[in-house]
């Protein structure tokens, strides 16, 4: 069921990687307002709410839309259209393959170029308009139309977007959000994951620990280079997953083929389960 906030969790789609100082994904990137991304970003389209800061270049195969007061410590390349809200600041250069829609008092230190039209105005911030419109559709009972709008924002719908919720923080050291976190399959990530609950898919390599308030699931074939802990929830280490650290939770389930290279602490029940994967659940 679609809620009123389309960016309600940290969602990392399949095959996402952190390469040197860049976060790389095949799909779109949606960043909630007042978030900090201490990495460069490479994706299809990049959309950020107000007061988001990026510590690196942005490279978008599609559009790039940065709302008011956004900061980019680097260059911005958009192969299609770009929108910059008022008082956005780019320390490098802006290159746009299509049209450029720009607000007042935008500072681009090394200049810009656009192949299409250049329009200076102050339209409603992208995510503000989008959330207001989706909320209005839901209030009218038009859930199907609202869902279609969300899928349209995620380009052609063939790839899930990477979403960072409002006030999230992403860096090489840690991914910190006050929402649930979902990691797809075959990702390679650097940094500790901190969220209210964490669901990690299959075949991932996470160079950091997992810590949540509620349940934590580690999918088959995933390798966690750190501890897996939860304050109030349960932990399930599935299939042939590997945890290079301690595991701690209320009820802890470790599949027979899984390997934990550390201490297992269960405040409730400790179970040795049969090998399962996410498809079997």
User: Cα angle at 177 between 174 and 182, to 5 degrees?
Assistant: 90
H or E element: which one contains 54?
strand 53-54
pTM of the predicted model as reported, rounded to 2 decimal places: 0.84
What does DSSP assign to residue 161?
P
pLDDT in tens, the chain (281 residues): 334 456 789 999 999 999 889 999 999 999 999 999 999 999 999 999 999 999 999 999 999 999 999 999 999 999 999 999 999 999 999 999 999 999 899 999 999 999 998 887 655 455 555 555 566 566 677 677 666 656 665 544 567 899 999 999 999 999 999 999 999 999 999 999 999 999 999 999 999 999 999 999 999 999 999 999 999 999 999 999 999 999 999 999 999 999 999 999 999 999 987 654 444 44
Contact call for residues 254 and 260 (beta carbons, < 8 A): yes
Show the beta-strand stretches assigned E in 198-280: 198-200, 205-207, 210-212, 216-218, 223-224, 228-230, 235-237, 242-243, 247-249, 252-255, 259-260, 264-266, 270-273
Cβ-based neighbours of 37, under 8 Å, separated by 6 or more:
23, 31, 52, 53, 54, 55, 56, 164, 170, 171
Q: Rounded CA gap, 5 and 115, in Å?
A: 34
SS3 52: coil
Q: Rounded CA gap, 178 and 168, in Å?
A: 7
Tokens of 212: 């949540």
């Amino acid at each position: 069921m679609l809620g009123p906030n389309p960016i309600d969790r940290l969602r990392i789609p399949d095959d996402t990687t952190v390469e040197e100082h860049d976060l790389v994904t095949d799909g779109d990137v949606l960043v909630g307002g007042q978030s900090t991304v201490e990495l460069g970003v490479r994706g299809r389209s990049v959309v950020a709410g107000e007061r988001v800061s990026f510590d690196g270049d942005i490279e978008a195969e599609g559009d790039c839309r940065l709302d008011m007061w956004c900061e980019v410590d680097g260059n911005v390349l958009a192969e299609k259209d770009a929108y910059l809200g008022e008082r956005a600041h780019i320390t490098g250069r802006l290159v746009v393959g299509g049209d450029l829609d720009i607000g007042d008092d935008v500072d681009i230190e090394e200049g810009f170029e656009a192949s299409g039209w250049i329009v200076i105005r102050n339209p409603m911030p992208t995510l503000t308009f989008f959330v207001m419109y989706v909320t209005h559709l839901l209030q009218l009972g038009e859930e199907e139309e609202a869902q279609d709008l969300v899928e349209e924002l995620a380009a052609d719908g063939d790839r899930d977007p990477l979403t960072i919720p409002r006030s999230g923080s992403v860096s090489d050291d840690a991914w910190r959000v006050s929402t649930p976190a979902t990691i797809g399959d075959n990702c390679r990530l650097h940094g500790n994951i901190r969220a209210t609950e964490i669901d990690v898919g299959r075949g991932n390599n996470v160079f950091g620990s997992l810590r949540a308030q509620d349940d934590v699931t580690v999918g088959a074939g995933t390798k966690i280079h750190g501890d897996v802990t939860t304050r109030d929830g349960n932990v399930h280490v599935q299939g042939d997953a590997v945890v290079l650290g301690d595991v701690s939770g209320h009820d802890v389930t470790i599949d027979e083929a899984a390997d934990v290279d550390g201490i297992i602490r269960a405040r409730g029940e400790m179970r040795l389960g049969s090998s399962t994967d996410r498809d079997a659940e």
